[in-house]
Each structure stands twice: as structure tokens, then as C-alpha cells.
Structure 1
């Protein structure tokens, strides 16, 4: 690679400084949002718990102990034990790994699919737009959980199949969002100048339109994480998600419902984990929307 000229080096340095200044401004504004910081803290806590689960757990999450079955919360079992004497605290920690795996698998598959469909439909318009959007409308017309149930019934139970089924129901909102953003961008002077310079439609969509849609997509992704967790827990609750003995939170609630009146902690503790994590993602998404939406963006 040829050496950069002093002008190019200075331009890159100026760009890096501008991006760093923008990041510091964003971090400063985000730090003022107390609810956003709470959501961010919960999200970080979830990631840390998932990453350090083997070291933070106090018991083997899979090893039963029939002599300690249905033990209430205490010094030995911090959140109690289940019907097989397994430590609920340790199982929740390891279940956080499954939760993050499902969320990340769904996000990294559904968001690009929706982004591709929406940008293509919005940029080309005409029959391409009509066909893609009618397909999107069909998926949007069916409730997500019902559609996920249908797909996972065909694919079979399992954590990966559940994630793929949720993916097939999660991409339409991204497509609608990306299409709306593209319709506002495609006729702008910025895109027209690039088109006149000889750029291909593919290059324009990938290099110049998609980056402008990312802020809205990121906000949508953050909000969708809570919904993904709830759908995954619902599938696990009815036995179509992660299979025993995996410590998936929805499956833990399903086994604990038989003891809900006398040994309430068996179902309540994983349910509380789902509530806290979903609340964290919603608070984080709300803060990101306020900061990244140009219509709601606050000045530093």
C-alpha cells in the first residue's frame, strides 16, 4: 500500500478526532439519562453473569440432590432449590447464557434480513416494493408467538430451532423501518450526486443508504430483545424451546408452576429474572431512541 500523503494523514486524523468527540458527546448525554443508565447496568450485569456463570455459580446447575429438594431460599441455596434439589440461583446464571445465545442469534439473522428487504424495496420501488412489502405484511398480520409456534412445530423442539423460528417472525419490522428510511434518503441530493458519479445501485445501498438506517435499526434491535426473550421463554414454557435439563428460564417456570402455591420460589425466581432483563432492555432502548432519533435528540 502506498504511503499516505500529509493531506490524507491529516484528513484521517481529523476524522478520528471528530468521531471521538461525537462519541464523548453521546456518552455524556447518555450518562444524564438515569433510566437509560439503569437499563445499561442491567444489560452489563446480564452479560457478566453469563460470561462468569461457572465461577459465580455456587452449585452444579445440573446435579440433582433429592435430599435438598424444594429447599426455600437461605444460606445454602440463595434462591432456593427446585423439585430435583438443583440450585435455582446457579441455574438462572447458566440460563443467562442460553438467553443471550437466543437473543444474539435472532438479532444477527433477523436484522440483516429485514434491512436487506427494506432497503431493496425502498430504493427500487415499483413492483419490487409491492412484492416485498406484501410478503412483509403477511408476516406482520400473524401474531409473532403463533407464527413462531407454527415454525418450531415444523422444525422440531430445541434451542437452535426456537431461535430460527423467532428469526422468521422478527425480520418484518426491520424491513418496514428500513424501507421508510430509504424512501426519505433515495431522492436526496447526496444520493443523486453519488449516482451521477457512476456508483452502482448495490454500492449505493450498501455503502451509503444502509449506514444511514443503522441508528433506527439499533434502537429497534434493543427494544426487540425483550420481546425475543419473552417469546423464547414462552416456547420453553410449553416444551418447544430448550429441552431438559438445560436451565432455560421459561422451562424453569413451567416445572415450577406445579409448586406455585407452596414453593413459590421455584417459578418466581426465573420469572423475576425475565422481568428484570426485559425491563433493562426496554429502558436501554428508550434511552437510545431519545439519543439517536434526530427528532428527539437532545443537545449536549
Structure 2
């Protein structure tokens, strides 16, 4: 047996041991076992590959895009897909493939900003409502119900109409409408955790309610929140594309996939490629996040 094989076996045994010698080893072993379970799911691995591809395309857009996404060439307008313009050109002669590649950055920025905003907000509201209970729970959940009573896109349209069109306002509008499901999930988890024996022991030691929520309840809710976040990214992308399609999201000439579909809807029958390829990009990315979320749910959710 080679030294490399022996080294691999030793690391495998060290990570999968049932008697870890430190907290670090236990945590690394848990992550390693979760990864082993995750990679057995072909659909989840396909979703991970799509998401990683999106990240790489967004990171290396200047190297991948063969043309300037904003450069207009009216003598090359509405050209079909070819070796020069892989996805054809739009009504202003801009290369559609290059615009889709750069549009991945816009989509990723919207998703990350929304997730960074709504994740902590929904987690804190849900944990506070579930742990404190009483009138705090009633007030926070009734506010949550008000937001859940309206379809997300309709509510986002109302916020954007009040704030005005633009990428920043679209992010704010989506964030305002996306937090209620996170709060619901966190509340349900917290109502189970708050009755655990170790929470009672911590309470008897004199820990404050804020410390119990932030140090002990919130970390236990994180796995469910991660799964919910991953599954919700597809909805965020579709909402952002819907706002862009209606002209309320990213404004021209920013290459945003929803706005690209809107620009190509007039040529959908004659020049199908103008709207088809941005639509396929949205479908593939949304599918990737859904598959990744399903795989994470199978691994992280013990039930």
C-alpha cells in the first residue's frame, strides 16, 4: 500500500471515528459525513455543479465574455447564433452570450444582498417569537401573516412603485417581501428547542434571555435556515427577473436576464434567440438552486 493511500485512510478514519478526541475533530467529522451523504445524491451534485458554475462565470466574466456586453453595433442587429456570436445578437447588435455572462454577476449580487438581509432578520424575528412567546409571539407573527397574505411579486411591485425603479430599490423590495418564511421556520424550530433540557440548564445558571437566544437557540436553527435559504434563491431570482421584465429592476444598459427577456419579447417569433437564451439561463440557475436545496435538506434535516 502506498504512502498516499495510507495517508488517505488515516484521514478517513480520523474523520469518521466514533470517539473524537476534540470538539474540532467532532465538527470536522460531522461535516465530512454530511459531505459523504450529500455526494451520493446525483441530483444534488448536479445542483452544486450548476451553482459553482454560476459563481465561476460571475467571477471570471471579463475573461469568459468574448465581446463587450454594452457595445452596440447596429449593422449586426438581430443576427442568429453563429461561431462569432454564439447566442446571436439583440436589437442593438449586442452579443447575447456576453450579456448573459455579465448578467450572472447582476443576478448573483441580487441574490446575495437579499439573502444577507433577510436571513438574519427572519432568524431573529422567528427565534424571538418562538422563545419569548406571549404577546411578543402574537405581534410578530401577525405582522408576518400580513406579509404572507400577499404574493411576493405583487408586494415587491408595490414597494418598487413607491421607491422607484432601479437595482438597489429592487433588492430592498425583494428583501422586504422575502423574510416571512424564514421567520416561520425559525419560530417552529425554536418552539421545539426552548423546551430542551440543556436550555433549562442554561436558564438555571442565570443566562439572560438574549444570551440564550443568540448563543444557543440561533445556532440550532441554522441548518433549517440554510436549507430554506438555498431553496428560496430560485424564488428570489424569479422575482428579480420579473421586476426586470417589467422595467422596475436593473435599468438599461445593465445586462439583467429579466430585462433581456423583456427586450426580446417583440421578436419572440422571428428572432427567438433574443429572449430564449436569457430565459434558459434563469431556468437552469433556478433548477440548480432547487436541486442543491433538496440535497442539503436530506443531509441537514434529521427528520
| Distance apart, 1:42 and its partner CA | 0.1
| Distance apart, 1:150 and its partner CA | 0.2
SS of match in other structure, 1:294:
coil
| Distance apart, 1:62 and its partner CA | 0.1
| Distance apart, 1:13 and its partner CA | 6.5
Match of 2:244 among 236, 244, 255: 236
Counterpart of 1:8 in structure 2 is none
Match of 1:79 among 72, 84, 87: 87
Match of 2:63 among 55, 64, 67: 55
Match of 1:135 among 134, 143, 155: 143
For residues 21 and 262 of structure 2, what CA distance do their matches in structure 1 show?
Answer: 56
Counterpart of 1:42 in structure 2 is 50
**How many residues end up aligned between the 2 structures?**
284
Counterpart of 2:193 in structure 1 is 185
Counterpart of 1:211 in structure 2 is 219
| Distance apart, 1:24 and its partner CA | 1.3
Counterpart of 1:245 in structure 2 is 253
Q: For 1:2-52, what per-residue CA distance to the aligned partner results, in whole angstroms no more than 9, with x for missing partners?
A: xxxxxxxxxx97111111211111111111000000000000000000000
For residues 52 and 109 of structure 2, what CA distance do their matches in structure 1 show?
Answer: 15
| Distance apart, 1:188 and its partner CA | 1.1
SS of match in other structure, 2:22:
helix
Counterpart of 2:72 in structure 1 is 64
Are 1:96 and 2:100 an aligned pair?
A: no
| Distance apart, 1:186 and its partner CA | 0.7
For residues 107 and 42 of structure 1, what CA distance do their matches in structure 2 show?
Answer: 19
For residues 25 and 125 of structure 2, what CA distance do their matches in structure 1 show?
Answer: 35
Counterpart of 1:117 in structure 2 is 125
For residues 176 and 47 of structure 1, what CA distance do their matches in structure 2 show?
Answer: 29
Q: For 1:63-91, what per-residue CA distance to the aligned partner results, in whole angstroms no more than 9, with x for missing partners?
A: 00111111111100001110111000000
SS of match in other structure, 1:169:
helix
For residues 199 and 13 of structure 1, what CA distance do their matches in structure 2 show?
Answer: 28
For residues 149 and 167 of structure 2, what CA distance do their matches in structure 1 show?
Answer: 25
Q: For 1:270-291, what per-residue CA distance to the aligned partner results, in whole angstroms no more than 9, with x for missing partners?
A: 0000000000000000011111
For residues 201 and 272 of structure 1, what CA distance do their matches in structure 2 show?
Answer: 48
Provide the TM-score with structure 1 as the length reference.
0.94
Provide the TM-score with structure 2 as the length reference.
0.93
SS of match in other structure, 1:32:
coil
Residue segments in structure 2 that go unaligned for 5+ positions in a row: 1-19
SS of match in other structure, 2:146:
helix
Match of 1:168 among 146, 162, 176: 176
Runs of 4+ deviating beyond 2 Å: none
SS of match in other structure, 2:278:
helix
